[in-house]
Structure 1
Amino acid sequence: MTDETNHTDTSIAGLSRRKLLGGLGAIGVASAGAGLGTTAFFSDEESFQDNTLTAGEFDLKMDYRMTYRGGHGRLAELQANYPDATFVDEDMEPTDEDTGVYLLDQVPGLENYPGAGDWVRGANGIFDPESEEGEGFRREELIDAGDLEEALIRIGDVKPGDYGEVTFSTHLYDNPGYMWIGGALTANDQNGYTGPEEVALEEMGITVDDPDGEGQLADAIEAKIWYDDNCDNIHQESGGEDGGNVDVMLSIDTSGSMGGGSGSRMENAKAAALTFLDNLGSDDRVGLVTFDSAGQLRQGLTSDHSLVAAFLQPGPAGITSGGFTMMDAGVDLAADELTANDRGVDQAIILLGDGQPNRSARPGSNHTQNAIQAAQDAKNAGITVITVGLGVTGFAQNTLIQMASGSNGTTLYYDSPTGNDLDDIYSQIAAVVLTGEAVIVEGTLREVMDALAEGIPLDANLSEEERTCFTNSVTRCFGFEWELPTTVGNEVQTDSVEFAIGFAAEQCRHNDGEANPYAGA
């Protein structure tokens, strides 16, 4: 690739762009039966082309998990389309009980990652192909959406009240990139009429003289796409309990391995924590703990965020590194501060570490287990523990994963291989505990697809004013959900809809992110 060429020019855009284009599916092909039942078959109809990679310098792949809430007794029927489908419990973990909630499919496969928690670890973690270490997915395990042989969503007999969700996580390889999401409603068919359907349509003032025309299903289904910042298949609409305030303790590793000077892990960690403070509301409280050869409460919980910011200034004006890694103290001091000053709001510890614990404040010499137990004690006290691994692999990474809170099949662990992407990671964490996960588009299925038709630019860091490139070292998750409301009646019988959703990416290098690859597609 050359520096002289304008890579937004469509004639050579293929050199720097990778489109991931996969149809999510189609709802509908109903039986002729009466009643409220609408059947659904989700089938793929590719709506975009040019799915080729012309240069090896840039690649975008994905994994996904897909769940469906469709009522009891459906497993055998669903397994006709999804042989490995299984029941899942309220935490999205496989269960033998008929819960009416199903884990339909995931990539990498269910055989390799049988548990929801394992899937999230893989999605959030980083696998190092050189050392063969790390909890992340391997590149060869992932998929190009354009390579899907059939639609992801293929479900029969969908009824009012049914709900489905797909969480995609995207992986950029080789270079950072700008990303877009696009889509289209490719079919919305009436497929004839049943008697009850005719009655319902006539009561709505809709003529029934066009059995081959448009149906009503695309306008009946409600849909949403959002930044699923904790990859848990659920949209967190606001931070804090019932959208209220939160108390957060930052716990930062200041051991010698964090280094010093411009570009060091220490400086990156301080800069990202400062950005996090900017997301706090005026009534949110924050405090700071550091840990090296000992733990130290630098600042107790306060609504004066500048008091914490004073410790996060660049260079020796802020906290500096040196010593060992007493991680259990980093948790216990933060938990003690939260517990002693509990005001009945959500509480969280955000712990950043760059290595394995090698000192303990707790009794005994099993430093790793002491850190894990300290985190467990905090979780038992109702505190959410979020961990960030800075350049860690192997045992150190596993320790931080075990320390992190988990719910609904997710693990609140975030992996930062270099530290250069900490701003983006802290922005994701802010969405989980403070602001809520941002919606990309929502409305009826028709409205959502109309909005996607021209492509919507995605942003790696919503807390920044300027659009930010997605790094090639951090996984990002996006959620898509659909629901057929219980208020829908016989007017959607026999109807079917088909739609496609895809991701596109363009290298940040030589590009400004202004050339929308979906515009005019």
Structure 2
Amino acid sequence: MLAGLGAVGVASAGAGLGTTAYFSDDESFEGNTLTAGELDLKMDYRMTYRGGPGRLAELQENYPNATFVDEDMEPTDDDTGVYLLDQVPNRSEYPGAEDWVIGANGVYDPETGEGEGFQRDELIDAGDLEDALIRIGDVKPGDYGEVTFSTHLYDNPGYMWMGGMLTDENQNGYTEPEIEALEEMGDPTDDPDGDGQLADSIRAKIWYDDNCDNVHQGERDEESEGVDVMLSIDNSGSMGGGPGSKMEQAKAAALDFVENLGPNDRVGLVTFESTGQLRQGLTSTHSNVETYLQPEPAGISDAGRTMMDAGIDLAADELNDNGRSGVDEVIILLGDGEPNESDRAGSDHVQNAKDAATDAKNDGITVFTIGLGVSNGSTAQNTLIDMASSSNGTTLYYDSPTGTDLDDIYSQISSVILTGEEVIAEGTLREVMGALEEGIELDANVQTEDRVCFTNSVTRCFGFEWELPTTVGNEVQTDSVEFAIGFAAEQCRHNDGETNPYAIDAGGNTTDGGNVTQA
């Protein structure tokens, strides 16, 4: 892995103008300063390995903090044969997957010292790692490993690329069973210092891990019956009105989401302020919902307080009463503040909202929540986090500090529940590294035609998995491979994203002009 930092430059200019006569005066414009902005790409990651029981002590020689994890990626004392090898950051208060993701989703504010998010200095430049990230020996057929990388752009939005390459592969001599297997395959056995067969035997895949759960949500079958999804949108007074308001941002992003639904998908809409309203029940006529999401003066508008429990209960009731058997049922709730009204009995509005979400989840409904402009570590944010469902230990909460990234967030949710998370490259390890060697453009919103920059406010995840299939036999004994995976970012402003930092020109040089941050 390679790493670099964006340069920071300072230029200053002073200008003075004066005249001297019987009357004198001096006028000056001093201390004029232009300061170059920063583009800094940082990473965090979680790495797991399924290598069978009884290997913890062996793995801890390379990964001192390796632990067993259960089905939900939570640390356990049981010998599960599944290991959490490493993670960055590695705080003691984030021992488990769910708490770790809350930290990754949050944003720490260095000016106020507030927020549950990871701090910038806790994250890594990959080049600062003292050891290779993946360093596992004694790999057997059936072994599987996965790393989810999370990227953090600081200071500026950026175009992003992913690159990689095979850096070394070795036969490491032959064992007697290996020679026998290779001869049966018709492969030569006269090159003990050659490359070996491991790079062609390992299967690998890289994808947009849009819910950061370390698992690839595959493409949906074209014959699928679709999904029943209820949108629940906060339209309280704090959402505001007029161009650029949170209300208009929420409607525009939800409208794009509805327009991307398939013919077998049904959608409905609930809004909540001082009361909750079922605006549209589940329907295959998506335009019925789109009517409510038009820019003002059409569509829904802001008013009143925040009855969030009704926003969940009305959506869940519609799914329970009119949902289709065997079809995934989903609520996507967007809120911008703390609940301060309840439809349920009692005056604990926050607990009522959480209870409503718990009831929905107990009914088999998946609940996604989006925090629009909520303060980090606030009751509003923590309530939305607690309300969200969990997938493989990952909390399905998405944070949108400014609203400018709502389209990208709905796109990520769409990838999880509608289209499947997009694969970046897959095949043998050699094929995947070959695809990455020339650099692959990454896109913050794969549902749009044009490539979209990654914002500097939202964590994005990319999964990498490898597996040595059980169909592989003795032909790979003692073989080893080494490879590199990297990410690069270039500021969006004044760039078109056409300069691939991993591309190689005829002279064997990369084509970027040195303005790219790599990790």
TM over 0.5: yes
Asked whether 1:154 is paired with 2:135, we answer yes
Q: Is the 8 A contact 2:444 2:453 kept in 1?
A: yes
Distance in 2 of aligned mates of 1:116 and 1:318: 39
Query: Which gives a bigger RCO, structure 1 or 2 (Cα 8 Å, sep 6+)?
Result: 1
Partner of 1:329: 310
Number of equivalenced pairs: 474
Letter in 2 for 1:121: I
After superposition, the Cα gap between the structure-2 partners of 1:239 and 1:379, relative to the gap in structure 1 and judged at 3 Å, is farther
Q: 1:112, CA displacement in angstroms?
A: 4.0
1:358 paired residue among 340, 345, 367: 340
Q: Is the 8 A contact 1:247 1:338 kept in 2?
A: yes
Asked whether 1:119 is paired with 2:72, we answer no
Partner of 1:217: 198
Partner of 2:64: 83
Q: Is the 8 A contact 1:108 1:141 kept in 2?
A: yes
Measured against aligned partners, the alpha-carbon deviations of 1:203-262 in whole angstroms (never above 9, x if no partner) come to 111111111111000000000000000000000003599954100000000011101111
After superposition, the Cα gap between the structure-2 partners of 1:67 and 1:468, relative to the gap in structure 1 and judged at 3 Å, is same
Distance in 2 of aligned mates of 1:127 and 1:389: 15
> Unaligned stretches of 5+ in structure 2?
9-36, 505-509, 511-519
Q: Is the 8 A contact 2:169 2:196 kept in 1?
A: yes
Measured against aligned partners, the alpha-carbon deviations of 1:358-377 in whole angstroms (never above 9, x if no partner) come to 00000000000000000000
Q: Which SS does the other structure have where 2:462 is aligned?
A: strand
Distance in 1 of aligned mates of 2:350 and 2:79: 38
Q: 1:52, CA displacement in angstroms?
A: 4.1
Distance in 2 of aligned mates of 1:139 and 1:353: 27
Q: TM-score, normalised by structure 2?
A: 0.90
Distance in 2 of aligned mates of 1:228 and 1:123: 14
- 1:225-374 map, 5 Å: 225-239=206-220, 243-344=224-325, 345-374=327-356
Q: Is the 8 A contact 2:44 2:88 kept in 1?
A: yes
Q: Is the 8 A contact 2:5 2:40 kept in 1?
A: no
Q: Which SS does the other structure have where 1:373 is aligned?
A: helix
Q: 1:53, CA displacement in angstroms?
A: 3.1
Q: Which SS does the other structure have where 1:479 is aligned?
A: strand
Distance in 2 of aligned mates of 1:273 and 1:443: 35
Asked whether 1:377 is paired with 2:359, we answer yes
Distance in 2 of aligned mates of 1:425 and 1:91: 24
Give the root-mean-square deviation of aligned CA atoms: 1.4
Measured against aligned partners, the alpha-carbon deviations of 1:117-168 in whole angstroms (never above 9, x if no partner) come to 0111122222233333333211111111121111111112110000000001
Letter in 2 for 1:384: T
Q: Which SS does the other structure have where 2:297 is aligned?
A: helix
Q: 1:283, CA displacement in angstroms?
A: 1.2
Partner of 1:480: 464
Q: Is the 8 A contact 1:268 1:422 kept in 2?
A: yes
Partner of 1:392: 374
Partner of 1:470: 454
Distance in 2 of aligned mates of 1:52 and 1:416: 26
After superposition, the Cα gap between the structure-2 partners of 1:243 and 1:230, relative to the gap in structure 1 and judged at 3 Å, is farther
Q: Is the 8 A contact 1:125 1:414 kept in 2?
A: no
- 1:199-214 map, 5 Å: 199-214=180-195
> Unaligned stretches of 5+ in structure 1?
1-21, 23-47
Structure 1 or 2, whichever has the larger Rg, is 2
Q: Which SS does the other structure have where 2:274 is aligned?
A: coil
Q: Is the 8 A contact 2:225 2:264 kept in 1?
A: no
Letter in 2 for 1:505: A
> Identity rate of aligned residues, in percent?
77
